C-alpha cells in the first residue's frame, strides 16, 4: 500500500490518535483505528472514489466514541460491510461509507453513445462526383439527414436508414483511397473541427487501400458533418457500416401477474401472495385488490399483502405483482 496515502489518512485522525496515545505509542484505541484505516482506506478510495483522508476525518468521531469491542470487531472484519456494521450498524453503514461520493450517471449524453450497425452502404465516391481531392486540401461530405447520397457519388438511397436517423455523434466508415498521385495519408475529422495530427489511411502512389475508422461528426447546423484532408491528390470512397447515437431514454416494459385469490371470512386476516414474475422480469410493487368494502391492508410487500376483513361478510383479495424489465434484456 502507498505509505503516503496511509499517512494522509492517519493525519486526518490525529486528534483521535493523540487523545488515546499512551506509553505504548498509539494506545489500544489508536492501534485498532490504525488497523482499520490501513486495511480499508485503500478500498474506500478504489471502490467509492472517496479521498482516504476525507473518509478518515468523517469516521473520526465514530472511532473516538465506539466501544472497544466494536473497534476490535471492525479491525477483525473480513468485509467492508462487516466493518461498517460493527461500527455503525446495518442501517447507516452504507450512507457513511459512501458519503460525498457522486456515482457516475448512466446514459451520459456526452460519453455513453449507442452503436447502430447497418449493412455497408456508400456515402461518397469522388470518382463519380466532385473529382479527385487535390493535394494538401480538405473536402467535406454530408453524412446525416440525406435521402439520396448520389449527389456526392454515393448510393441512390438513404443508406439503410442512415440518412433518416437524424443528427448523430459519430460514424464508422471504411475510407478507401484510390490511385493517389504520390505517397501520403488522409485524415478524417469532424467538419469545422481542428485537423488532428493523425492518419486515417496511409498510402503510396497508385494504391487502392482502405481502413475502417470511427469518426466524430459535427452536430451543428451545417450541411456537412465530416471533412477529409489528403497529403497527395487522390480519389476517395467512403462506405458506412454503422453509427453512434446519443443515448435515448427507454421506457420499462411492465406486466401485471395476479396471484391466487385469498378467501377471508368476516373478521379474519391473512396473507394474499402475488403472482410470480417470469424470467427476466423483476417485481417492483404489489397491488392489493379486495372484492368488498371493509377490507383493509395491514401491510404490503413486493411478494404479498397482509389483509384484514373488518366487514360482516366473507370476501376475497387478490395480490397483483407489477413485473418490469428493461426492453431487450
pLDDT per position as a tens digit, 230-278: 999 999 999 999 999 877 777 889 999 999 999 999 999 999 999 999 9
Same domain assignment for residues 228 and 274: no
- Cβ–Cβ < 8 Å for 326, 249: no
Structural domains of the chain, count = 3
Conformation bin of residue 166: beta by default, left when phi > 0, alpha when psi is -120 to 50? left
Q: How far is CA 204 from CA 137, 185, 237, 260, in A?
A: 18, 8, 16, 75
Dihedrals φ, ψ of 166, to 5°?
Answer: 80, -170
Is 196 in the same domain as 87? no
Rounded Cα gap, residues 226 and 228, in angstroms: 7
| Domain end point (choices 222, 245, 268) | 245
> Do the domain assignments include residue 108?
no
Q: Are residues 278 and 210 in the same domain?
A: no
Residues paired with residue 210 on neighbouring β-strands, in sequence order: 176
Q: Does the residue 257 lie in any domain?
A: yes
Q: Give yes or no: residues 122 and 192 share one domain.
A: yes
Is 235 found in the same domain as 160?
A: yes
Range of the domain at 286: 253-325
pLDDT value at position 42? 78
Asked, for residue 109, whether it belongs to a domain, the answer is: no
Distance of alpha carbon 224 from alpha carbon 188, whole angstroms: 13
| Least reliable range by pLDDT among 1-5, 65-69, 140-144, 272-276 | 1-5
Does 89 reside within a domain?
yes
Residues 43 and 139 in one domain: no
Query: For position 230, which CATH number holds?
Result: 2.60.120
b or e along 42-78 (b: 16 or more beta carbons within 10 Å of the residue's beta carbon)?
Answer: bebbeebebbbbbbbbebbebbeebeeebbebbbebe
**How do residues 82-130 score in pLDDT, each as one tens digit?**
787 787 654 434 444 444 444 444 455 556 788 999 999 999 999 999 9
Neighbours of 19 (CB within 10 A): 11
Angle at 201 between CA 158 and CA 132, to 5 degrees: 65
What pTM does this model have? 0.50
What 3-state class would DSSP assign to 311? coil
Amino acid at each position: 500500500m502507498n505509505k503516503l496515502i496511509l499517512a494522509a489518512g492517519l493525519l486526518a485522525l490525529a486528534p483521535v490518535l493523540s487523545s488515546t496515545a499512551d506509553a505504548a505509542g498509539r494506545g489500544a484505541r489508536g492501534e485498532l483505528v490504525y488497523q482499520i484505516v490501513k486495511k480499508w482506506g485503500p478500498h474506500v478510495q478504489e471502490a467509492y472514489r472517496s479521498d482516504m483522508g476525507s473518509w478518515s476525518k468523517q469516521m473520526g468521531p465514530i472511532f473516538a466514541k465506539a466501544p472497544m469491542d466494536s473497534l476490535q470487531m471492525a479491525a477483525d472484519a473480513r468485509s467492508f460491510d462487516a466493518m461498517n456494521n460493527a461500527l455503525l450498524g446495518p442501517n447507516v453503514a452504507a450512507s457513511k461509507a459512501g458519503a460525498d461520493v457522486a456515482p457516475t450517471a448512466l446514459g451520459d449524453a456526452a460519453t455513453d453513445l449507442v452503436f447502430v450497425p447497418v449493412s455497408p452502404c456508400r456515402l461518397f465516391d469522388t470518382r463519380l462526383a466532385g473529382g479527385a481531392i487535390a493535394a494538401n486540401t480538405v473536402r467535406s461530405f454530408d453524412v446525416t439527414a440525406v435521402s439520396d447520397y448520389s449527389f456526392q457519388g454515393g448510393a441512390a438511397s438513404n443508406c439503410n436508414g442512415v440518412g433518416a436517423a437524424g443528427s448523430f455523434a459519430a460514424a464508422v466508415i471504411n475510407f478507401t483511397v484510390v490511385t493517389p498521385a504520390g505517397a501520403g495519408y488522409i485524415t478524417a475529422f469532424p467538419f469545422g473541427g481542428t485537423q488532428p495530427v493523425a492518419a486515417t489511411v496511409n498510402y503510396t502512389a497508385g494504391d487502392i487501400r482502405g481502413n475502417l475508422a470511427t469518426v466524430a461528426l459535427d452536430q451543428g447546423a451545417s450541411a456537412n458533418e465530416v471533412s477529409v484532408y489528403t497529403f497527395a491528390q487522390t480519389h476517395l470512397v467512403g462506405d458506412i457500416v454503422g453509427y453512434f447515437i446519443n443515448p435515448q431514454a427507454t421506457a420499462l416494459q411492465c406486466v401485471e401477474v395476479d396471484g391466487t385469490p385469498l378467501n377471508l371470512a368476516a373478521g379474519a386476516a391473512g396473507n394474499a401472495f402475488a403472482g410470480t414474475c417470469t424470467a427476466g422480469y423483476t417485481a417492483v410493487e404489489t397491488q392489493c385488490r379486495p372484492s368488498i368494502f371493509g377490507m383493509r391492508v395491514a401491510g404490503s410487500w413486493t411478494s404479498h399483502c397482509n389483509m384484514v376483513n373488518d366487514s360482516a361478510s366473507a370476501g376475497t383479495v387478490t395480490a397483483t405483482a407489477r413485473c418490469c424489465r428493461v426492453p431487450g434484456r
